Structure formats: C-alpha cells, structure tokens
Amino acid sequence: MTEKATHIEAHADDEAKKLGMWLFIFTELLLFGGLFLVYSVFRAKYPANFHEGSLELSVTIGAINTIVLLVSSMTIAMSLTAIQKNNRKLAMTLISVTLFLATVFLFNKVFEWGAKFEHGLYPGSKLMPMLERGDLLYFSLYFFMTGLHALHIIVGMVLLTICLFKVKSGNVNSKKYIHLENGALYWHLVDLIWIFLFPLLYLIT
Amino acid sequence: MANNTTHTTEYRVLARVLLVLMFLTFLTISVTSYHLAAFGVTVALLIAGTKGFLVLTYFMHLKYESLLLRILVSMVFVLYAVIILITFIDYAYR
C-alpha cells in the first residue's frame, strides 16, 4: 500500500472517532435535556417554591464556579491549539491548569453541599419529606442535576488525566491529537451544561 | 495533505471568546437581580443560549467542522425544542 493511501485511511478514522464522540455528546445533551424538561414543568407548576428555594443557594459560589468552568473550558481549548502547534510543554501545562480548575469547582461544590447537609437538607434526610411539595421538588432536582453534573466533572477529569499522560508519552502529538480533541469536547459539554444549570437553579426571579 | 483540512484556533480568539462569556455571565446575574419576573427567565435563557452558541462554535470548533456535523448538532436542538413544545401543549390542554 502506498504511503498516501494509509495516510488518508488514518485521517478517515479520526473523522469517525470525532463523529462518534459527537453522537455520544448528543445522548448526554438529551439526558440533561430530560431533566431540564422535568424542571421546567415543575417550575411552571410551583413558581413561588422554586423562587424561595433558589434564595437558599449562594449566587456568589455559583458565579465563581461558572467563571472557573468557563476559564477551564478555554484552557483545554488552548491545549489543543498548543499540541497542533507542536508545543507539548504548553499543552501539558494547560491540561494541568484545567484539572486544577476542575478540582476548585468540586471543592466549591463540596463546600456548598456541606452547608445544605448541615441544615439537614439532603436526599433521604428527615427534613426533606416535611417540606412543601414545590420545595421538595426544587431541592430534589437541585441535588440530582448538580450531582449528575459533578459526576460528569469527575469523569472529565479522568479523561483529561489520560490525555495528559498520552501527551507526555508522545502518544498524542501534533500529527495525531484526536484523543485530546475528544477529551476536550467532553469537557466543553460539561461547561455547556453548567451554562444552563447556573441561571436556572441559582437565578430564579 | 489531510492536515490542511483541520483548523487551528488561535489563542487570542479563544481568550476573546472567554471575555465575552464572562461579560455575559455578569450580565445575566445583574439582569436577574432586577426581579423582572417572567421577563427575567426569558432574558436569562437568551443569554445562556448565546453563551452555549459561543462554546459550541469556538471552543468545540463547530465553525470549522463539516456541514454534516453542524446540521446534526442543530437537529439535536431542534428535536429538543419539539419535545419541550409537545410536553407543554400536553400540560396546557389536559
């Protein structure tokens, strides 16, 4: 087989890998989409409870986490630019910065959830069933949606750590970077979901 | 060469997108703090939609992807809009 033919094959394979990643992202979008649907129906039904519930959340922590995720989304996008420009060291630094920001996000989340737990507000607590129906729905959705999102942050961190080692070993390089590209796509998805979670859970007027 | 078809997004473009995203975050917090009731959620969703569009276009570099992929992504959002519409019609008329 000629060299040209193998090169085209390898390229076609990368395109398929990227398309596969996008198909997976579609399922993730519809997974959270389903939750947003449940949220909007109950919010339309219990607007006052949802408003009161949102007042219990700290807009400051939510805003800080929004900024943290937006910056981390930029750094991982930049790491792809760096590897395309064959700057391995910068790419590794940028992935590490992204991982650090992800840790900051989770730390804030633990702090935020911890404050709720202290007030006896957590799924399965004695307090939860005593709440009004609208409040119960708001906090159940809050814990489930932010919890599922936090799980995605953890999965993203695992994927990006694998990418970091692949860049280090030279498995991901300026000619072959589909793994980092797909890892970055996953991370952007996590950011994309938070962009909608933040105003809907924290900023209810 | 196949490499010519892949696009490299410059650092400064990504940095500019981040600045816009941060500004929009600030905007959504200040707008919703004015208690505009039903109007507030529309504005918040419009801003979130714009932010999502920017992330998809530049960070997920859909701007430089094939038409097929761009259509596929658009279709997911169209599908979701239809699902929301049907659900609310169901709730409104039952």
Task: Write the CATH number for A29.
Answer: 1.20.120.80
In the chain, the amino acid numbered B53 is: F
In whole angstroms, give the CA distance from residue A161 to residue A187.
Answer: 12
Q: Which residues of chain A have pLDDT under 50?
A: 1
Q: Does A97 touch chain B (CB under 8 A)?
A: no
Q: What is the pLDDT of residue A103?
A: 98
- Which of A41, A84, A196 is the closest to B87 by Cβ? A41
Question: What residues of chain B lie within 8 A of the CB of A18, using their CB?
Answer: 69
Residue B78 to chain A, least CA–CA distance (Å):
12
Chain B residue whose CA is closest to A186: B60
Q: Is B66 helix (H, G, I), strand (E, B) or coil?
A: coil
**How far is the alpha carbon of A154 from chain B, nearest alpha carbon, in Å?**
20
Residue B57: the pLDDT is 95
What's the complex ipTM?
Answer: 0.90
**What's the confidence (pLDDT) of residue B3?**
43
Sequence letter at residue A31: L
Structural domain for A128, as ranges? 3-202
**Cα–Cα dist A161/A158, whole Å:** 5
Domain map of chain B by residue range?
1-60, 66-94
Long-range (24+ apart) CB contacts under 8 A made by A60-65 are A61/A108, A61/A111, A61/A112, A62/A198, A62/A201, A62/A202, A62/A203, A63/A198, A63/A202, A63/B25, A63/B29, A64/A108, A65/A105, A65/A108, A65/A109, A65/A194, A65/A198
A110-126 tens-digit pLDDT? 999 999 999 888 888 88
pLDDT at residue B38 above 90? no
pLDDT of residue A69: 97
- Which residues of chain A have a CB within 8 Å of the CB of B56? 188, 192
pLDDT at position B5 is 53
pLDDT at A204: 78
Task: Please tell me which of the candidates B32, B47, B80 has its beta carbon nearest to residue A33.
Answer: B80
**Contacts with A81 from chain B: Cβ below 8 Å:** 8-11, 14
**Predicted local distance difference test score (pLDDT) of residue B41:** 83
Q: Work out how many domains chain A is built from and give that number.
A: 1
If you write DSSP's letter for every residue of A65-84 in order, what string do you get?
HHHHHHHHHHHHHHHHHHHH
What is the per-residue pLDDT for B33? 77
The pLDDT-based confidence of B1 (bands split at 50, 70, 90) is: very low
**pLDDT higher for B82 or A12?**
B82
